[in-house]
Amino acid sequence: GTLRIRPGEKIPVDGNVIEGESYLDESMVTGEPMSQLKTVGDHLVGATINGNGSLLMKAVRVGDDTLLSHIVTMVAQAQRSRAPIQKLVDKVAGYFVPTVIGIAIITFLAWFFIGPEPSLAHAIINAVAVLIIACPCALGLATPMSIMVGTGRGAAHGVLIKNAEALEILEKVDTVVVDKTGTLTEGKPKLVSIESVDGFDKIELLTMSASLEKSSEHPLAGALLEAASEQGLELTSPKQFTSHTGQGISGEVNGKQVLLGNGALLSARGIDVSTIEARADTLREQGNTVILVSIDQQVAGMVSIADPIKNTSKQAIDSLHKKGIRVVMLTGDNQVNAQAVADVLGIDEVHAGVEPEQKNTLIKQLQDDGHIVAMAGDGINDAPALAQADIGIAMGTGTDVAVESAGITLVKGDLRGIVQAIQLSHATMKNIRQNLFFAFIYNSLGVPVAAGILYPFFGLLLSPMLAAAAMSLSSVSVIANALRLRALKL
C-alpha cells in the first residue's frame, strides 16, 4: 500500500520513499544522533520519526516482518535463553533439612537406648532441641534481607535493580559494553564552538547564523537556535532564504548576504575558504559537524555542532578501569565520531556502524570468549543486546523497551550509576556471605550441643527454651548485619 507521512509523524511500517524528501530521526534504531535525509528510493524504518517534510511511501514490510518486530522477537528470545542462577542457599537447603532431621532421629535413638533414665524424656527433649536450634530461619533471612536493604539503598541513589539475579551477576562482571549516543553522550546535537576570523565577532557570527537558520528545516538548525536563545540573542527573520540541497543555505540578514554550509557552497560563489579549511578538517576529525559561514562574500568563520560527551562519562570510565573492568563501545554511529569519543574517554575497544543484530552477535562473541558482560544502552536498537548480555543496564532517560530489557535501570541516565551498581553488588554479596556464615556457624555449634555432646563431659544439656532463644539470636544477628548496608557509601 501507499502511505502519506506528514511532518512530525512516526513511520508506521518499513518501506521506501516514492515521493518527497525529509530528514528523519532514526536514532532509536541506528544510534546515529544526526537526522538523516531521505529522498525518493530511500528505505524507511518503521517507528522512526519524520522531520518537517512530507513523504509518500510504499509499504514493504508490515506486522511481524518489520525491523522493530524483529528486534522485539530477539529481545524475547534472549530473555528466554538465559538460565536462572542456582542460588547457593537453595543448594545448601537441599542437604540441610534432611541432615538435621537425620541428626534429630539419631539423637532420639541414642538417648532412648543408651541415655540415662528417664530415657524417653531425655530422648524427646534433646531431639526437639536439635530441631528448634537448627530451624533455618536465619538461613531463610540471609539472602532476602541483604537484597531488600541493598536494592533499597540502590534506589535511593537512582539505581533500580529488577531482581536479585542482577545483583549476583554484576559482582562477576569483567567487561562493560556501552552504547555511545545517549549513554556516553547527551544524545542531542549542540553547538560546541564558534570560531571567527579577524574582523568578525563571535556573537555577530552566531546571531547571523541563527537568524538565517530560523527558516531552515535542517535538524542542525535547532542546535544554533538553542545556543542563540541561551545567550539571549535577538534574532531577525531572513529575506530571500534559499536552501541548497546537500550544501547549505543562504539569505539576507539585516541587509547582509549570509551563507551557511560546506566548502563547496562557499567556493562556488567565489569565496576563498583556504584560511579556515585546515581548522575545519581538524574539527571534523574530532567528530564535529562543521558549518562554514560567510558574510557579504567574505569568510567569517565556522560553527561546530556535535553530540557532546556527558560531563560524568570520563569519571565513570576511569572508575571502571580502576576496578579492572574492560570497556567496549558498540554504536550505530560512524567510525570518526565513535573514535573521537573513545579517544577522549579512554575506551578500550570500539565497534562503529553496528546494526542492532550485530550488537547482539558481538555480545555473544564476548561471552563465548569467557567474559561476564554488562551492557549499558538507552535505545530500541540496544534492547536485544541488553537482553543478551549477562546483565543489561538501561538509562532511565531512554526508551521503555530498553528499560524493560534490562536488569538494572539508572534513573538519572548517569553512567556513574554503573560504578555505584557494581559497588552495591560487591557489598550486598559480601553481606549475604556474612549472613550465611552467621546462620551456619550457629547451626554448626548449636546442633551438637542440643544433641547432648557436652553431657558426658560436663553434664550439660540444652533445653528447648534456650535452643529457641539461640535460634532467634541467629536471626537477629543476620538482620542486624543486613541493615549495615544502609550506611553504604555509593
| Residues 128/461, Cβ–Cβ less than 8 Å | no
What spatial distance separates the first Cα and last Cα of the chain, rounded to whole Å? Answer: 55
Distance of alpha carbon 424 from alpha carbon 167, whole angstroms: 8
Distance of alpha carbon 362 from alpha carbon 177, whole angstroms: 10
Residue in 32, 22, 77 with CA at minimum distance from that of residue 355: 32
Question: Which residue(s) pair with 25 in the sheet?
Answer: 49
Instruction: Provide the 3-class DSSP secondary structure of residue 242.
Output: strand
Residue in 304, 290, 286, 303 with CA at minimum distance from that of residue 344: 286
Distance of alpha carbon 167 from alpha carbon 482, whole angstroms: 15
Distance of alpha carbon 32 from alpha carbon 283, whole angstroms: 18
DSSP 91: H
Who contacts 308 (Cβ-Cβ below 8 Å, separation ≥6)?
Answer: 185, 186, 190, 192
Instruction: Provide the 3-class DSSP secondary structure of residue 15.
Output: strand
Who contacts 190 (Cβ-Cβ below 8 Å, separation ≥6)?
Answer: 223, 226, 227, 305, 306, 307, 308
> All 3 cell numbers of residue 35?
537526522
Active-site annotation holds for 382: no
Q: Which ranges of 308-411 would DSSP assign to H, the alpha helix?
A: 313-322, 335-345, 356-368, 383-388, 400-405
| Residues 172/166, Cβ–Cβ less than 8 Å | no
Helix (H) or strand (E) holding 11: none
Question: Which residue(s) pair with 305 in the sheet?
Answer: 191, 289
Residue in 377, 380, 381 with CA at minimum distance from that of residue 393: 377
Residue from 14, 25, 65, 179 carrying the catalytic annotation: 179
CA atoms within 13 A on the CB side of 231: 16
Neighbours of 81 (CB within 10 A): 9
Amino acid at 170: L
Active site residues: 179
